[in-house]
Structure 1
Amino acid sequence: MPLTGCGNQNADIQAEPSLQTVAVKTLNQTDFYAHKQFFSGNIRAANTTGVGFELSGKIKQLYVDSGDKVSAKQPLAQLDVSILLAQQQEVDASLLQNQADIDLARSTLNRSLELTNQGYISEQTLDEVKGQLNSLLARKKQLQASLSAINLNLEKSTLLAPFEGSVAERHQNLGGVVQLGSPVFTLIQSNTPQAFIGVPVEVARSFSTDQQVSVKVGKQTYTARIRGISGQLNPVTRTQEVRIALPKNAAVINGELAYLDYQQQIQQTGYWVPIAALTEGMRGLWNIYVIKPQEHAFIVQRRDVEIIYTDRDKAYIQGAISDKEQFVSQGLHKLVSGQLVNPQEHGHND
């Protein structure tokens, strides 16, 4: 009796294919994009001044040094004034002698007037006595002027800070002889930080005095105001210099780099998408993958687009795409055109 084998029964049920899940976003059309540009310059105090004595002499005292903070009218240095003091004493003595001579001349004049009235002294003699007194009075004014000049030089022998600030550099040493006008210190004024930034002519024309702008220094961004725009081009950079006042409490250093954040609206229709949603295409174009419904699934379609502008991880694009279409926002390396996928909304595309 033949044996009958017990074979497995073939299933007629075909398994449904597993569709790949992709993250998608929606395209939102806009009429313009903000074109961001950064222009560089540097920080300068309103006043950076080399201060020195208004007369020559030997430095007797230095009261401050590099890095010190100073207030307005604070003494910074002192010249040796021993010669001036000796001259002052000499003029004082001359004034005392002159005053004694004036007193004597006045007494002589009074007696001469009495004798003239009595007919004992001629008019010529009287005129000579008056001339002597006038000469002594003129000499007194001359001595007083000399004394005022000496006192003024004594005042100028103390170097005072012209404004509140800090000492950037000391140029002279104790005991050194300085010439008229030679700088002893370089001072940087406090609480007046300004940024000087060169911009193209067309950008400068869009600015106005007192306009509020954004300036970045280091890691800090400040809201500042334009105080002036140069009326001439820099012959090297072909830019106009814009002077921008930062807040008084801005923590900046003289010479530090500053960047002007300039934004301009460009009227051009397009779409913002993540750069990760684009792949390089042909002839300078780029590709984006959109999805379209097809029966019970969605099919991937490749579209050619052009990048108009980029901002960090975003791109502003135009091309064969439409408003409110959905596009694949990431994971493009796993996809091919015509592939069926299962879309999953992945946030909003601004």
Structure 2
Amino acid sequence: MHGINQRVIKASTSVVVIAALSAGTLSGCSEQEAVQTQARLQPVTTLALTKSDSFEQHQTYTGVIRSANTTGIGFELGGKLDSLLVDSGDSVAQGQILAKLDTSLLLAEQKQLKATLKQTQSDLDLAINNLDRVVKLSKQNYASEQQLDESEQRVQSLKASKQSLEANLDSTSLRIEKSTLVAPFSGIISKRQQNLGEVVNAGTPVFTLIGQHNQLAYIGVPVDVAQTLRTNQQVDVTVGKHDMVGLIAGISGEVDTVTRTVQLRIALDPKETIINGEIAYLDYQQTMATQGYWVPISALTDGVRGLWNVFVVKQGEQGQTVTERRDVEIIYTDDTKAFIKGAIDANELLVVEGLHKLVAGQQVSPTPAEAL
């Protein structure tokens, strides 16, 4: 009997030990499953949405650098190029001789006119002396009225011939003078367009001359932007690698029919080293009164029908953290972030990283991100 009781006690003890081991095993399995479940959750980075009543819109508009004095210069009359004294890239001063036409015919014409004028002057002197004698004889009734009239007419005719010859001589001298091309202002010869010995027509450009000062940026902007600007306003301009401050010298009063923009004329510092024809960029910033949210570009994903989507983190029905897809509209973007509005509210947690593995309703493990 005593042996039977000992066996019963041992059996009971074994059951208790097995039960304890089973409970410990089940508890360990539950903790392991919880850890495995947590590890299976998709990690995402979230950011709390902050609403803004406006945003700063930064735009860049493109134009070109042109000198205020840029012109094609040529002769005022046609002729054969006899000499070219400068070439492309040469710096010239105002009044410097640039080229000459062949003036052989003009010099011969000038010589002939001078000889004719000298002969006419001699005939005029003789006619005046003759008129004086006729006047004296007429007073003594030794000359008729007809003789007096003819003498006076002869003097007047020679005077008119002399004036005509003098005018022709002045014209020839002026054409000889105009056969020498001089620089109208100081600058640089950017291009030579004619060759020595060529016959050029009046007004045909021989050189393109660019002034060394008064460099201007001509930049077209939309009408609504032009309406916010004013003359003498300072603006930021970039030319090449140089950032500089320009002054709006003028705003066009009409819209370009091709570009549909209004042209700005921006004066630049003459000390800046810039070249005619370089590309100029106007950096313009404008405050836009529109409500929305700034979000990183990485928070956006393609939607349907041309829309954009974002994911927000919400608490599920059973307490788990899940994602929801929302439709949004992009108002403005820069290099790193976008200003959006749509089916989102302030303080909601926006998923900013890890979107490529998300679907709506997926359980996630969120981690807060640094504020924008």
TM-score computed with the length of structure 1 as normaliser: 0.75
Q: CA deviation at 1:156?
A: 0.4
Q: Note the C-alpha offset of 1:141.
A: 0.9
Structure 1 residues 35 and 195, CA gap change in structure 2 (3 angstroms): same
* Residues 223 and 262 in structure 2, CA contact (< 8 A), matched pair in contact too: no
Q: Quick one: distance in 1 between partners of 2:302 and 2:224?
A: 35
Query: Following superposition of structure 1 onto structure 2, how do residues 273-312 of structure 1 map, counting pairs within 5 Å?
Result: 273-276=295-298, 278=299, 280=301, 284-287=307-310, 306=328, 308=330, 309-312=332-335
- Among 244, 267, 282, the alignment partner of 1:246 is 267
Hey, what does 2:17 align to over in structure 1? Answer: none
Determine the C-alpha separation between the residues in 1 that align with 2:355 and 2:159: 104
Q: Could you say what secondary structure the match of 1:322 adopts?
A: coil
Name the aligned partner's letter for residue 267 of structure 2: L
**Residue aligned with 1:268, SS:** coil
The alpha carbon displacement at 1:63 in A equals: 1.4
The unaligned stretches of length 5 or more in structure 1 are 1-9, 293-298
Whether 1:100 aligns to 2:122 is yes
Structure 1 stretch displaced more, 178-187 or 254-263: 254-263
Q: Distance in 1 between matches of 2:228 and 2:143?
A: 90
> Which residues of 2 match residues 14-53 of structure 1 at below 5 A?
28-53=50-75
| Structure 1 contact 29–271 (Cα < 8 Å) conserved | yes
Q: Whole-Å Cα distance in 2 between the matches of residues 64 and 329 of structure 1? A: 64
Output aligned runs, 1:1-350, within 5 Å: 28-224=50-246, 225=248, 227-234=250-257, 236-237=258-259, 239-249=260-270, 250-276=272-298, 278=299, 280=301, 284-287=307-310, 306=328, 308=330, 309-318=332-341, 320=344, 322=346, 339=365, 346=370, 349=372
CA distance in 2, matches of 1:290, 1:331: 12
> Which structure has greater strand proportion?
1
- In terms of mean alpha carbon deviation, does 64-73 or 169-178 score higher? 64-73
Change (3 A) 1:337 1:161: farther
Deviation of the 1:140 alpha carbon: 1.3
Distance in structure 2 (CA, Å) of the matches to 1:243 and 1:120: 84
Amino acid at match of 2:263: V
Secondary structure in 2 matching 1:65: coil
Q: Residue 119 of structure 1 aligns to a residue in which SS?
A: coil
Which SS does the other structure have where 2:196 is aligned? Answer: coil
Cα distance 1:71–1:316, how it changes in 2: closer, same or farther (>3 A)? same
- State how far apart, in whole Å, the 2-side matches of 1:118 and 1:246 are: 82
Change (3 A) 1:321 1:313: same
Q: In 2, are the aligned partners of 1:281 and 1:304 still within 8 Å (CA)?
A: no
* Partner residue in 1 for 2:16: none
Deviation at 1:137, TM superposition (A): 1.5
Q: 1:317 to 1:106 in 2, by over 3 A?
A: closer
Q: Which runs of 5+ in 2 are unaligned?
A: 1-23, 25-30
Counterpart CA distance in 2 for 1:37 and 1:279 is 22
Q: Take 1:226 and 1:130, find their aligned partners in 2: how far apart are those partners?
A: 65
Distance in 2 of aligned mates of 1:70 and 1:241: 34
TM-score in terms of structure 2 length: 0.71
CA contact (8 A) 1:41 1:258 kept: yes
Instruction: Kindly provide the amino acid, as one letter, of the partner of residue 38 in structure 1.
Output: T
Deviation at 1:158, TM superposition (A): 0.8
Match of 1:5?
A: none
Contact 1:223 1:247 in 2 (8 A): yes
1:97 CA displacement: 2.2
Calculate the aligned-residue CA RMSD, in Å. 4.0
Greater shift in the superposed pair: 63-72 or 194-203 = 194-203
Q: Deviations over 1:242-275 (max 9, x none)?
A: 1322314244333333333333322223343443
Task: Tell me if structure 2 keeps the 8 A contact 1:290–1:303.
Answer: yes
Query: Once the 2 structures are TM-superposed, how far is the Cα of residue 227 of structure 1 from its aligned partner?
Result: 1.1
CA displacement, residues 167-197 of structure 1 (integer Å, 9 cap, x when unaligned): 2221211122222222211223332333333
> Is 181-190 or 303-312 further displaced after alignment?
303-312
* Secondary structure, counterpart of 1:135 in structure 2: helix
Q: CA deviation at 1:282?
A: 6.3
* Cα distance in 2, alignment partners of residues 230 and 168 from structure 1: 31
